[in-house]
Structure 1
């Protein structure tokens, strides 16, 4: 009976997208709950109304608040799994035969109560293993939230740059048509000069177009880098607490680096100056 009840609870705490423990769970209008990150990725390219990944019921919302009660219950379940793992005989303190329920922040190792009071560890920062795991999880979730915001910001800049590239190409075509029209009207005998004029305009226009393409390419590359780190953080958030207590400084550093360095769309003033440069007067 107890085993069946435990299995039922396990299913309720499972995200039906990633099939792992719910991480930062959100409950959508139909009542189903998912990891926030799983919904972000599932609904990223969808317009409102979005569909529930499980029952396909439409929802008018894409942003939801964390289900605090469910998050707490999942945390209790994950803590229980961690303590069950550490209380097994193979993970007990060899010296004192006690459960290792304390985490040493400096050495990032598990200690029993007596070992934490030893001369070797007395001066180190300690906390209960459950609290250390919860702290690591919260830090991980904040990194993911911040990184997701940067991913969306970069996507907006990328879309804006694509629109400007299209606009710039249209401007070059219109500028060429205008030059030809003016030559036909005012200088019908200067066909050679007309072609030279158009060639100069195209060289200058393509110079700026090349800058736009390079800017777009940088944003595409940054998008891939941001998403790669986000998926790494997401995968880590789905790991058992015993894995979360490992040293995650490297992935946090890379996440911070990704958030702080991102290409920006070129300033509007750039296009105004460039466009004025194409408007050469006739001699």
Structure 2
């Protein structure tokens, strides 16, 4: 192939972003083609909507299939360029004065023909340099795909970590109010007892906020590191065959080590400080046998999907599905103060509290999510989440492992949950207007 023809051939197979031969080329909806890594970096760094770098047309789809024909032609173009520049790129074996045209993958070295037949190399697999280089580019592309996926996943985790930080700060503010309310409700003369509790909460919350801030910083730095490694691998793929082969081992090892050093998110958890004498006080309002029992195969909470707004896992809390043991009050409370305890020792997924209306059929129970005061526990990927509804709120406290106490102060419109074994407050729904009868409710959910 003469120089003019080669130049024209190369021009048609050149990415307009990096000005190199196509690497894993994709053709977008407007008909223009680019290296996948180039377009990924271009769109990742740019503003929405996504535009074609050439015609500026808007592209709706974020993902495209590899253009196999262009990929094959680009490989031929690289080989043609290598053959054309052979005299300047070849490496001569000092011993045999022959070009090193073979690559030994076992030793990661370039060899001439006679060297490949020597005892130390004879048992190894050898490939022509261009073939070995194209195979190495494929390995790089697979590693790049893995890096890009990790970057996207880490970005989601970072977003969740930032959201978790905001939620935690709001939660701490609310918890201070709950603690003050708890002591005030017990007796105005006990106000001095709340000060050590509030001071401990302030100190612990400050430490956790610092951990969350550092976590966000580490994740941001890691995402940037993955992006730079992706860019470096892209540049490496465009290197001449011999340079690519000689650097391959070190580069792949570097990226592998980086992938093993993924920063982990912080799971903030405040200490549940015991409230002295609280259980003795609550037992003055104790009621027994508040629940009737039945087994239901389907549980539905109206509008349950809104709970995703404060979900640390970023996933919709659709509670339909799975068999559930459900119990609710045969009689509703319409006044007074009432306290009862429920045992969740052997369950990781459960819901308890009070509800206004409970509608049942042979296989379905339905309660109105907005007219209930509920505490949820759910286990996802070995991570426990504790949260409440109305409004959705993650509870950043230790998960109770035994009995949970429920105290309904109907006349003041307040409901509180307690960790019986620790004698501590889990959460309080602060005073609000209640005008409807409320029934105790318990759901022990089987894993799906």
| TM category, shorter | 0.7 to 0.9
Cα 1:44–1:279, aligned 2, differ >3 Å: closer, same or farther? Answer: farther
Partner of 1:263: 263
Instruction: Give yes or no for contact 1:86–1:100 (8 Å, CA) kept in 2.
Output: no
Instruction: Give yes or no for contact 1:87–1:99 (8 Å, CA) kept in 2.
Output: no
Deviation at 1:275, TM superposition (A): 6.8
Which secondary structure does the structure 2 equivalent of 1:56 belong to? coil
Partner of 1:58: 58
Deviation at 1:120, TM superposition (A): 6.6
Does 2:274 align with 1:274? no
After TM superposition, the score normalised by the length of structure 1 is 0.83
Deviation at 1:198, TM superposition (A): 2.9
Instruction: Give yes or no for contact 1:110–1:129 (8 Å, CA) kept in 2.
Output: no
Q: How does 1:25-174 map to 2 (within 5 A)?
A: 25-44=25-44, 49-87=49-87, 91=91, 100-105=100-105, 106=107, 108-111=109-112, 113-117=113-117, 121-174=121-174
CA distance in 2, matches of 1:195, 1:161: 30
Deviations 1:162-220 (A, max 9, x none): 11100011111222334455667775566655554432322232233233233323322
CA distance in 1, matches of 2:134, 2:89: 24
Deviation at 1:95, TM superposition (A): 7.4
Cα 1:101–1:170, aligned 2, differ >3 Å: closer, same or farther? Answer: same
Cα 1:160–1:102, aligned 2, differ >3 Å: closer, same or farther? Answer: same
Instruction: Give yes or no for contact 1:48–1:61 (8 Å, CA) kept in 2.
Output: no
Q: RMSD value over aligned CA atoms?
A: 3.3
Higher helix share: 1
Higher strand share: 2
Does 2:233 align with 1:237? no
CA distance in 2, matches of 1:52, 1:262: 33
Instruction: Give yes or no for contact 1:50–1:59 (8 Å, CA) kept in 2.
Output: yes
Deviation at 1:141, TM superposition (A): 0.8
Deviation at 1:71, TM superposition (A): 0.6
Which secondary structure does the structure 2 equivalent of 1:26 belong to? strand
Deviation at 1:29, TM superposition (A): 0.6
Deviations 1:114-136 (A, max 9, x none): 55445675444321222111111
Instruction: Give yes or no for contact 2:90–2:99 (8 Å, CA) kept in 1.
Output: no
Deviates more, 1:6-15 or 1:89-98: 89-98
Structure 2: unaligned runs, 5 residues or longer: 268-382, 387-393, 400-418, 428-448
Instruction: Give yes or no for contact 2:90–2:100 (8 Å, CA) kept in 1.
Output: no
CA distance in 1, matches of 2:13, 2:240: 13
Relative contact order (C-alpha < 8 Å, sep 6+): which is higher? 1
